Structure 1
């Protein structure tokens, strides 16, 4: 086991990992993911969306086709299906008060996906559900009391004194927030094992196109559904657990005066989003200082000395970040790959990026990296990572 030497420096736990984790620091121990049954190739999306919403405006179709090409997305998963639209045709009718119907679909769907992702994660981890002491559940796709955290804990068979944290409506940065919260729990509760589960569906925002709501088409071209799960814990058990990444240091900050740049409102028709055109520029203007704050904890100054796990909100944000920080082209490869394979799946996406990054780092690479996500606020979430 690790101990503190005479000089006060931390010695590390000996494991079979390439690098040993730091005593007391939270680590990622396993990953799982799950998706609904409908896989949509991007080249099929336009015809399907126009058909399902009974849109006969050629200009809208042309714009959606252009957007589908610029997003770089190739495939996405979705809960929405022909069977759902046959049962709830009002979902495709402009102005229909359908929040009740949407929640009837979304509430069980997100828990079902979270359950599958969690089971896959627990299976990879190799531990028992009895060993899970806390659950952090993240979703911007359900509204109810009690929340999905309770339903997920019950369906997994977690013990009834499991500590539950529910993170609602954080949007795209929710996955990194979940990691930060789980890190704090792990490092302040010795022996704890935290299940982080994220689950999202676009059902709440599905609606027919309207020229008065141009962002609806961006959402149709970009967003996808799915779930993800991670087991987090400090001081992994040698020979039984396989830590692959350390959550070394975390920072959250918001940009004052930007709360209207990403704007979401629940209404009788579902959730309506408005996205300011200046979002990529706002992120570009503030990203260097934010990343430098995280990097300073490891004594790093060169952005290309790190690996990068960035939530791919869209290609414009990735391009701006790459240009501003003068990153080598391969640095955002995992983020671009996750966007291509799954679209922007909101809080889940950072976990998909981390899974791709884990596979890359097995072949060697940098010791230090950053996990980043951006969302309403404008909120920046960042974690200094250490590859093990």
Structure 2
């Protein structure tokens, strides 16, 4: 009898520990470092700072890669002065990992704090009300790391529960938000701060005549940080749920682990992007991922059109967006939030998706873009597809916080 009573009590305790409603996105903030280079000027800039102006053939290839991205502007923490102080960064065969990680360890928390401070201000509650912190970066490998320094910069409570995600590539933003959803829904009153911060100083290097394809990463990636406050059961009138996080899933496409990969080496973060295989990959599987996400929820039938939904998709490069448009037969402008972020900032790895989320929010708030149901998708090494179904809380989206 005692055992049965205890079990009943534990179940009741567990029920009370859970939130009543779904997790929701309560606020979003973004930030970039001040050093900005236009994509048009980037080939000249890159070959000048890497002392490689004599490699005219490679410079022509970089111009082609830059045009492929559809990006117009990128932001970087590293400057010409910093690169001049670290000539070892330019060479693939010289050890430089320690110096790169030290620079990122100092700069990443500052950039993340800038984005997080904006999200907290929009949220409307004090930073000390944050109960959980998820930090994702491909730019750091210290312990204690970015999470602890960020918690200190924001003056978070000492009891905040910290989680670090490293080397999740471009799917890091989506993976972090999936984890935040579970935390918020399984812990009543939890308020989760997600911060994704990326600095390309860890993988910047000069051109190599033997490996011209490595210029793709130099043409595509930029620096940035995104922050999101996630929580269930919004406290009115202070909090305003923007998007409810209805479901989340992860799919790994078989036999694709060699298409996109990354690893830390003595010469910094390195990896391979096989664009010919990568560009069509997401499009080939996206409809099945969407069907798998929406059908179990009972909110769609076989007649549902993808154009009825809004999309928050990690853009990668322009070719990926073009293939997704074609595969789903999307109307012109349906991926506008993704394309706008890609144009204005480039690919900021895990942080990019948060920029797209903020751009979609802005379009709904400021431009009256409509849509009740939507999907957020991230793509990363594996090849991994992260899918999250979103539902607009219309009454609150137009109540600007």
- TM-score normalised by structure 2 residue count: 0.89
Q: Counterparts of 1:273 and 1:68 in 2: how far apart (Å)? A: 19
Residue 313 (str. 1) matches residue 316 (str. 2):
yes
Q: How far has the Cα of 1:68 moved from its partner?
A: 1.3
Residue 62 (str. 1) matches residue 66 (str. 2):
no
Partner in structure 1 of residue 340 of structure 2: 337
* Paired residues of 1:361 and 1:387 also in contact (CA < 8 A): no
* Paired residues of 1:135 and 1:164 also in contact (CA < 8 A): yes
Q: Counterparts of 1:80 and 1:58 in 2: how far apart (Å)? A: 24
Partner in structure 2 of residue 4 of structure 1: none
Partner in structure 2 of residue 42 of structure 1: 39
Q: How far has the Cα of 1:284 moved from its partner?
A: 2.3
Partner in structure 2 of residue 24 of structure 1: 21
Q: Counterparts of 2:210 and 2:181 in 1: how far apart (Å)? A: 42
Query: RMSD between aligned alpha carbons?
Result: 1.3
Q: Deviations over 1:314-371 (max 9, x none)?
A: 1111111110111111110110000001100000111111111111222141100000
Partner in structure 1 of residue 389 of structure 2: 384
Residue 369 (str. 1) matches residue 374 (str. 2):
yes
* Paired residues of 2:112 and 2:150 also in contact (CA < 8 A): yes
Structure 1 portions without partners, runs of 5+: 1-21
Q: How far has the Cα of 1:94 moved from its partner?
A: 4.5
Among candidates 144, 157, 160, match of residue 159 of structure 1: 157
Q: How far has the Cα of 1:69 moved from its partner?
A: 1.5
Q: Counterparts of 2:92 and 2:241 in 1: how far apart (Å)? A: 49
Q: Counterparts of 1:233 and 1:38 in 2: how far apart (Å)? A: 34
Among candidates 316, 323, 330, match of residue 327 of structure 1: 330
Q: How far has the Cα of 1:299 moved from its partner?
A: 2.1
Q: How far has the Cα of 1:261 moved from its partner?
A: 1.2
Q: Deviations over 1:290-316 (max 9, x none)?
A: 011122225223111100110011111
Aligned length: 367
Q: Counterparts of 1:387 and 1:299 in 2: how far apart (Å)? A: 14
- TM-score normalised by structure 1 residue count: 0.92
* Paired residues of 2:24 and 2:241 also in contact (CA < 8 A): yes
* Paired residues of 1:139 and 1:169 also in contact (CA < 8 A): yes
Partner in structure 2 of residue 133 of structure 1: 131
Partner in structure 2 of residue 14 of structure 1: none
Moved more, 359-368 or 178-187: 359-368
Q: Counterparts of 1:79 and 1:298 in 2: how far apart (Å)? A: 46
* Paired residues of 1:200 and 1:345 also in contact (CA < 8 A): yes
